[in-house]
C-alpha cells in the first residue's frame, strides 16, 4: 500500500502498530491505543469514554452544502482546526520532525513541536521555507535555559511558543520506566502565577499554556499573560483517574473564552470528536498519538493523509448536523 492510499484512520493505526511492534510490543501498544495512560490507564480511557458518550443531533433541512473549516489561531490562519500536538521522545526523533512540520504546512495547519528535541534538530527547522510551527517547552527550573529555548524558537521562525505545565511531576510511562520521573526531579518544577508571569515575559511570541484542567488554573493563566491554553490531561499520562478534557472544557470556555483562546487535546480520534469539542467552545483541537500513527505508517505523506481524513470526517459531520462554519458551532448539535 502506498503512503497516500490509506482509506481510514483505522488503517493508518493498524499499519503503525505493525511497524512499531517490530521494535517493541510495549511501545506499539502504548502509541496505538491498546495499553495507554498512567498507572491504571483510567485517565486515558475516560478521555475516550467522555467523547463517546456525547451524541450528535442529525439535522438535514438546512441547505448547507458547503462548509468552512478555516480558522485563525493566535494570528496564524489555518485551513483546518486540527493541529499536531507536541510529541517528545523517540516517536518522532530529532530532524525527522521536519516531516511532520512539512506535512502540516501542506495541509495548512500548525505543528506544535515537542520537548525535549536536540537543539541541532530545532535549528535545522529554520531551513523549512513554508512552515507553521510552534515549540512548547517543559516546565524547566532553569530560567536561563528557558530563555535560551524561547530565543531559539524565535530564531527558527516559530509563530507560537509556550509551556507544558503538567509534566512537572513526571509522566508515568510504562515503556520508558522512570525516565520522565527523573527528568521531573532534576530539571522540571511546578510554577506559581508569578513564576509564569516571569516566564511569559521571556518571549515576544504568542504564549500557550498546555495542561489546563480547571477554571482556577485557566484564570491564573489569563492573569499571567498567556494568549491561549490547551485543555489537556496529557493523554492520560499525568494524573491517573483524572477528568477528561471534554468534561471540563465547557466551564473553562465560559470562564476565560472571551479573554484568551481555548484549545483542547485528549482522545481526539475522529471528525466527530473534533465537532463535539468545537461545540463546547474549543477553537481547535490537537492530535498526538494519531500523528505518530501517520508518521510511522508513511512519514510526511502519512501525516498529511491522517490530517486529510480527520478534516474530511469533520466536514461530513458538519453537513449532517447543519453546521456551516467551524467558527460558529452551536452547542445545540449535542444531544
pLDDT digits (tens, 9 = 90+) for 34-60: 988 888 889 999 999 999 999 999 999
Residue 1 counted as domain residue: no
Helices (H), the chain: 9-21, 25-31, 42-53, 97-107, 119-124, 143-155, 179-187, 193-200, 215-224, 245-256, 271-279, 289-321
CB-CB contact of 235 with 203 (8 Å) = no
Percent of the chain surpassing pLDDT 90: 84
> pLDDT tens for residues 136-151?
999 999 999 999 999 9
Three-state secondary-structure class, residue 87 = coil
Q: What mean pLDDT comes out for the span 292-315?
A: 97
Helix (H, G, I), strand (E, B) or coil at 135: strand
183-187, 188-192, 196-200, 330-334: the lowest-pLDDT one: 183-187
What burial class does residue 116 get, using C-beta atoms within 10 Å of its C-beta: 0-12 exposed, 13-18 middle, 19+ buried? middle
Please state the rounded mean pLDDT for residues 94-111.
96
pLDDT band at 155 (very low <50, low <70, confident <90, very high): very high
- The residue-averaged pLDDT of 4-28 equals 93
Flag whether 47 is in a domain: yes
Does residue 219 have a pLDDT over 60? Answer: yes
pLDDT band at 174 (very low <50, low <70, confident <90, very high): very low
pLDDT confidence of residue 71: 98
Which one of the listed residues 62, 172, 187, 234 is annotated catalytic?
234
Q: Tell me, what's the pLDDT at 91?
A: 84
pLDDT higher than threshold 90 for residue 171: no
- The reply to whether 284 falls in a domain is yes
CATH code for the domain in which residue 298 is found: 3.20.20.70
Tell me what pLDDT residue 175 has: 43
pTM for this model (two decimals): 0.96
Among this protein's residues, is 270 annotated catalytic?
no
Residue 2 placed within a domain: no
- pLDDT, tens digit (0-9, with 9 covering 90-100), for 237-260: 899 999 999 999 999 999 999 999
Query: Which one, of 206, 204, 205, 210, lies nearest residue 191 by Cα?
Result: 210
Task: Please report whether residue 138 resides in a domain.
Answer: yes
Residue 4 domain-assigned (yes or no): no
- Residues with Cβ < 8 Å from 156, sequence gap 6 or more? 122, 123, 125, 126, 133
Residue 178 has pLDDT above 70, yes or no: no
Confidence of residue 173 (pLDDT cuts 50, 70, 90): low
Residue whose C-alpha is closest to residue 136's, from 85, 93, 187? 85
Q: Does the pLDDT value for residue 161 go beyond 80?
A: yes
Name the DSSP letter for residue 195.
H
Q: Is 154 within the bounds of a domain? A: yes
* Ramachandran class of 147: left when φ > 0, alpha when ψ lies in -120 to 50, beta otherwise: alpha
Structural domain of 205: 9-60+69-323
Is residue 119 included in any domain, yes or no? yes
How many domains does the chain divide into?
1
Amino acid at each position: 500500500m502506498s503512503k497516500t492510499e490509506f482509506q481510514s484512520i483505522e488503517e493508518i493505526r493498524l499499519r503503525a502498530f505493525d511497524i512499531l511492534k517490530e521494535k517493541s510490543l510495549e511501545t506499539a501498544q502504548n502509541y496505538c491505543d491498546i495499553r495507554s495512560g498512567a498507572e491504571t490507564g483510567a485517565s486515558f480511557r475516560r478521555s475516550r469514554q467522555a467523547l463517546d458518550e456525547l451524541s450528535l443531533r442529525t439535522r438535514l433541512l438546512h441547505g448547507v452544502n458547503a462548509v468552512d473549516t478555516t480558522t485563525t489561531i493566535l494570528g496564524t490562519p489555518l485551513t483546518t482546526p486540527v493541529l499536531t500536538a507536541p510529541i517528545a521522545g523517540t516517536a518522532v526523533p530529532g530532524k525527522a520532525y521536519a516531516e511532520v512540520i512539512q506535512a502540516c504546512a501542506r495541509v495548512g495547519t500548525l505543528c506544535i513541536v515537542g520537548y525535549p528535541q536536540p537543539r541541532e534538530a530545532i535549528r535545522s527547522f529554520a531551513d523549512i521555507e513554508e512552515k507553521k510551527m510552534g515549540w512548547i517547552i517543559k516546565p524547566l527550573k532553569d530560567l536561563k535555559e528557558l530563555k535560551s529555548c524561547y530565543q531559539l524558537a524565535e530564531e527558527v521562525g516559530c509563530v507560537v511558543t509556550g509551556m507544558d505545565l503538567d509534566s512537572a511531576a513526571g509522566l508515568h510511562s510504562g515503556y520508558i520506566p522512570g525516565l520522565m520521573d527523573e527528568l521531573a526531579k532534576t530539571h522540571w518544577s511546578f510554577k506559581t502565577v508569578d513564576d509564569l508571569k516571569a516566564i511569559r515575559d521571556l518571549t515576544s511570541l504568542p504564549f500557550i499554556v498546555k495542561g489546563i484542567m480547571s477554571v482556577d488554573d485557566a484564570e491564573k493563566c489569563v492573569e499571567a499573560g498567556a494568549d491561549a491554553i490547551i485543555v489537556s490531561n496529557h493523554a492520560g499520562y499525568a494524573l491517573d483517574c483524572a477528568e477528561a478534557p471534554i468534561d471540563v472544557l465547557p466551564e473553562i470556555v465560559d470562564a476565560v473564552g472571551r479573554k484568551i483562546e481555548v484549545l483542547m487535546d485528549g482522545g481526539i480520534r475522529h471528525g466527530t470528536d473534533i465537532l463535539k469539542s468545537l461545540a463546547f467552545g474549543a477553537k481547535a483541537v490537537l492530535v498526538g498519538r494519531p500523528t505518530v500513527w501517520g508518521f510511522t505508517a508513511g512519514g510526511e505523506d502519512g501525516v498529511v493523509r491522517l490530517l486529510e481524513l480527520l478534516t474530511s470526517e469533520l466536514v461530513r459531520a458538519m453537513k449532517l448536523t447543519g453546521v456551516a462554519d467551524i467558527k460558529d458551532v452551536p452547542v445545540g448539535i449535542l444531544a
